[in-house]
Amino acid sequence: MTELSDLPIRDDFSGLSPYGAPQLDVPIQLNVNENNFGIPAEVARDIAASVASVIEGVNRYPDREFTQLRSSLAAFLGQGLQPEQVWAANGSNEVIQQFLQVFAGPGRTLLGFTPSYSMYPLYARGTFTTWVSEPRAADFTLRASDAVAAVEREQPDVVVLARPNNPTGTALGLDVIEAVYQAAPGMVLVDEAYQEFSRLPSAIELLPGRPRLAVSRTMSKAFAFAGIRLGYLLADPAVADALRLVRLPYHLSTITQAAAVAALRHAPAMLANVDAIIQQRDRIIRELPALGYTPYPSESNFVFFGGVADPHRTFTALVDRGIIIRDVGIPHTLRVTAGTAEETTAFLTALAEVPNN
């Protein structure tokens, strides 16, 4: 059988493994930061009806400019946003990839602050961009002075800032973004995939007067829409124009657009479980110390915790008990998604049974 290594792939992909969390069929899945509450039944029915209403027209290509979706997103977000400031794609992963295709590339650099989302260096490699990482503080925070020093030293073409940070859940103040933007010679991308779970205001409010700033968001997490794959970006209209240079033809399907527009009609109902998720997140943070673990502050829908003697052994022991969480490869740490109250109880009970020495 032909192996990957037998194929004439690019030299810089040699020896690499594809990105992806383990997919295991276990009763309690707390590993990829999904919204485990799901979609309310009445909303699901309306979304299904909206999708059904466009099926007969799928012999035609979708609206290339996803006009209704952009208007719906702008109206949902408010803050004076106009539809021409909105871009959307198949998940925020595609949004960020398109962003780098335009503003990064050969001979250009992407600066990030690690540990952070593990896809950032993969985006860089895929777009022939040089990835430059700067370490965060020991508690995974990022001070404005440290970020500015890195920007001034590296002079990157693009800076990416995850807020809240993944996998640590760490908050990032708007003052850091403002300082980085002031120092950066190029584009600044703020990745707000988990913003709905944060107590801090969105970086969207910094957009006016900052044409080199962009904010990416997703409907996968708070909206419980991970399977639909809808991410979006807010920026100066010129940035959206730039992304048109690299988008694939008709990149957002008619079905995706119809489902997303319908979901946005029910935004309050779709987001009704955010507070419940935050409650479970905070509960995990409160109860982990009694089990001998050290949780880090989190502004997201997950908890990153240290004090794990053997992460792989603990991960496996939890899987044996029907619970999957995430080993992100940082020594002596694991990450767990905040799920329902019942799932949290099951996780904490199982973790208490696992030896940690």
Q: What is the pLDDT of residues 242-289, one digit of tens each?
A: 999 999 999 999 999 999 999 999 999 999 999 999 999 999 999 999
Would the pLDDT of 25 be above 90? Answer: no
pLDDT in tens, 112-155: 999 999 999 999 999 999 999 999 999 999 999 999 999 999 99
Radius of gyration of the chain (CA): 21
- 32: pLDDT confidence band, cut at 50, 70 and 90? very high
For the chain, give the percent of residues with pLDDT over 70: 100
Rounded (10°) angle between helices 41-55 and 254-265: 150
pLDDT average, residue stretch 83-93:
98
pLDDT average, residue stretch 207-215:
98
Residue 13 has what pLDDT? 82
- CATH number for the segment(s) 4-30+273-353: 3.90.1150.10
Residue 20 has what pLDDT? 73
Domain 41-268 fold is Aspartate Aminotransferase; domain 2 (3.40.640)
pLDDT in tens, 300-333: 999 999 999 999 999 999 999 999 999 999 999 9
Q: Which of 250, 215, 253 is nearest to 232 (CA)?
A: 215
Residue 14 has what pLDDT? 80
Q: What are phi and psi of 113, to 5 degrees?
A: -120, 115
pLDDT in tens, 39-87: 999 999 999 999 999 999 999 999 999 999 999 999 999 999 999 999 9
- 162: pLDDT confidence band, cut at 50, 70 and 90? very high
pLDDT average, residue stretch 221-241:
97
Average pLDDT, the chain: 96
- 161: pLDDT confidence band, cut at 50, 70 and 90? very high
Domain ranges of the chain: 4-30+273-353, 41-268
Strand partners, 6: none
- 293: pLDDT confidence band, cut at 50, 70 and 90? very high
**Cα–Cα distance for residue pair 226/262, rounded to 1 Å:** 15
Q: Identify whether 115 is preceded by a cis peptide bond (ω within 30 of 0).
A: yes
Residue 16 has what pLDDT? 77
Residue 146 has what pLDDT? 98
Residue 7 has what pLDDT? 86
Residue 59 has what pLDDT? 97
Does 4-30+273-353 match 41-268 in CATH topology? no
Written as one letter, the residue type at 231 is G
- Other beta carbons less than 10 A from residue 226's beta carbon: 16
**Cα–Cα distance for residue pair 188/352, rounded to 1 Å:** 42
CB 218 within 8 A of CB 194: no
pLDDT average, residue stretch 95-124:
97
Least confident of 9-13, 175-179, 192-196, 290-294: 9-13
Ordered DSSP codes for 157-199: SEEEEESS-TTT-----HHHHHHHHHH-SSEEEEE-TTGGG-S
